[in-house]
Chain A
């Protein structure tokens, strides 16, 4: 199982696009556990800071930060997931 986490903020203008793309890609894989982490919550910011996340949107795969900022391409995300499967 590959764990994909998307760190987002409800006030970040880039995040809706990132959330839409990451969730759509993650849905295609039955062995991907996808979690959205809202960094405007205490739990979310603690999780982000424990991983040294410093910007949103950030995509982490299996606890490792892999994509930071927007835009990123669907093929980059697919490649990350498939190399982790």
Chain B
């Protein structure tokens, strides 16, 4: 906790947040980045990045983000691993609350990214790593000759069905109450795969077992229970913008933060950038939005005198 007033507090330490920090710190603005998890964001998970300009041979997500951290810190940005739990607007001063205390700033850039939606059913947390997985490509080999379910209706779910059919003996494909979100090309192949059985019009209600996953229960008109060894939860990504509720920052129906052409939210002095705005969803677009939000934030700070 500090009583110093920062020029800019950036909530989130991914590509958008670190780029914003680079810009504001480089312009001698007192800058604090607050990141509750590992600094670098979802980009850290990218095994290899081939489409970020300036790296002709590509670069790992981890190395790219470490470079971004070093670059922001070189110009004086302060990074603290604290989870932000609230944001309050007191006109010219914004207060950012973390689990450790509070910080004050003249402007705030929200760059909280996205997180994968969880199924939020009994058993999901209990069986993580014991049959519940979130990555078919990563964990598929452990389910050789076993029975699994893949829950989700997006492209990643369809892709993982195809990947898992190489190892698993039987796959239940559970898209939810609706059919898959688009007519993905892989669906044609999957429909002809004898290992794949589609369970339509049903949601998973519970994941159960003993030491490891043994079954799921379902609602809907079809089967009420499926015996299996693994459940792959491959749902879509959703914006991580939960801290904004009390501050009154506007989001759309999907939870995406609404910004204007200057990346400013409906609250003066509060800006947003990167995936939490649901625009671009690329490292390079997040970085670009972070730079733009930083320029706008500095203009706002200057206007306060």
Contact = CB atoms under 8 A, between A and B. Distances in A.
Contacts of B179: none
Q: Which residue, B47, B62, B135, B138, has most C-beta atoms of chain A within 10 A?
A: B138
Nearest to B42: A13
Interface string B29-50: 0000000011000001111000
B144 interface: yes
Nearest to B133: A55
Interface residues of B, number: 25
A13 B129 contact: no
22 contacts: A9-B139, A11-B47, A11-B138, A12-B47, A12-B138, A13-B138, A16-B61, A17-B38, A17-B44, A17-B62, A39-B141, A40-B141, A45-B142, A49-B142, A52-B211, A54-B129, A54-B130, A54-B131, A55-B128, A55-B129, A56-B138, A68-B129
A54 B230 contact: yes
Q: Determine chain A's interface SS by DSSP, over half rule.
A: loop
B138 A68 contact: no
A43 to B, nearest CB: 12
Contacts of A54: 129-131, 133, 139, 142-143, 212, 230
B60 interface: yes
Given A11-B137, A68-B128, A68-B129, 15 more contacts: A9-B138, A10-B47, A11-B138, A13-B47, A13-B138, A14-B138, A15-B138, A16-B60, A54-B139, A55-B135, A55-B138, A55-B139, A58-B129, A71-B37, A71-B38
